[in-house]
Chain A
């Protein structure tokens, strides 16, 4: 499991951790019931504050990705795939709204827009 922290990114460190762990869980690299590294170990390895890792884990817990047992640690929660997909779709819709607005301002038509999307999507 890799977690890469960037100091130059504008995103707060706890968000970098939570979003990367989220991505790992969604990509099925971690399965239901798998233990996550302890907050203290993660803080030590990444050389960040325990408070930061705690905040990241709390956020993941709130969103239902992990659950914690006092004295034992944090574990990957049973994943509601529909829920994850729903959340992603909502995000995408929001971005597309922005894209559409920008496209209309620049009078870019739909086929051209789809072409851009196709290039980006396949380029990844």
Chain B
């Protein structure tokens, strides 16, 4: 079963259109959702959560239509948005009390263990928290009601590398259950490289690709060569070119490229850059 399935999802604004988005996230997997600012990541996540109405297409969460689903399915979704939305004057003990009455599946023990793992001080109220601490609190709340699907929008931004690593560990623990899945958008592609099974890249409201991470590293490579060498290569294999005075870097489909070339591994960040900035059409 798919944890999340988007079919031809469309949303039109005056200045921006989310155009026929197709995404499939199998259960038990983690999908990273990348794209530049304004590419449509948050719009997509808001559509999934039914915070805004779609103009066309279908969205299924855990096998059910996301607009028709009842409370039970909603309890199975943990959400972390980039701004924490807890009352400023509460501490995490009081927040747990509130949450207990919202979610039937709230697990106090789980919450306590996450809070102590993240070393959140019970004496401090939310307004005294740093951005990182607020983020950790949001993640603890999202996980404490035992969700099956975790949806995160920029959850690791603004955190230091050590805190991010702690959070990735928590995600790895979460995914040990084969029924659990994570859909996360992030600008920190190194985090996604560590943790994701699938990478979906959105650009100007359109999905550019949706690959497993292994496919991505096996498909794309950065070719380093001279202009003469580049001219001899089949143009259909070249996805992006960056020129400097002493040579050329190009994003290429490395499998199809025969011959003796210098081809480096391409990181997600480089693939994004070449697709957006140096695209050849």
* A-binding residues in B (CB < 8 A): 28-30, 168, 172-173, 175-176, 178, 194-197, 212-214, 218
Contacts and interface: CB of A to CB of B under 8 A. Distances in A.
B169 to A, nearest CB: 8
Contact of A50 (B29, B173, B218): B29
Interface string A38-70: 001101100101111001000000000000000
Nearest to B173: A44
Given A41-B176, A44-B172, A44-B176, A51 B194 contact: no
B195 A50 contact: no
Main secondary structure, interface of A, reads helix
A57 B196 CA distance: 19
B214 A49 contact: yes
A14 B213 CA distance: 12
Nearest to A8: B265
Contact of A51 (B29, B168, B195): B29
Contacts of B30: 49
A43 B175 CA distance: 10
Given A51-B213, A55-B214, 19 more contacts: A12-B218, A40-B176, A40-B178, A41-B176, A43-B172, A44-B172, A47-B168, A47-B194, A49-B30, A49-B196, A49-B197, A49-B212, A49-B213, A49-B214, A50-B29, A50-B197, A51-B29, A51-B197, A51-B214
B191 to A, nearest CB: 11
The 6 closest A-B pairs by CB, nearest first: A44-B172, A49-B197, A51-B197, A40-B176, A51-B212, A49-B213
Given A40-B175, A40-B178, A41-B176, A47 B195 contact: yes
Interface of A: 12-14, 40-41, 43-44, 47, 49-52, 55
Nearest to A47: B194
A30 to B, nearest CB: 22
B11 to A, nearest CB: 30
A13 B214 contact: yes
A19 to B, nearest CB: 16
A41 B195 CA distance: 13
A50 B28 contact: yes
Contacts of B172: 43-44, 47
Contacts of B196: 49
Nearest to A13: B214
Nearest to A7: B265
A26 B48 CA distance: 49
A5 B28 CA distance: 23
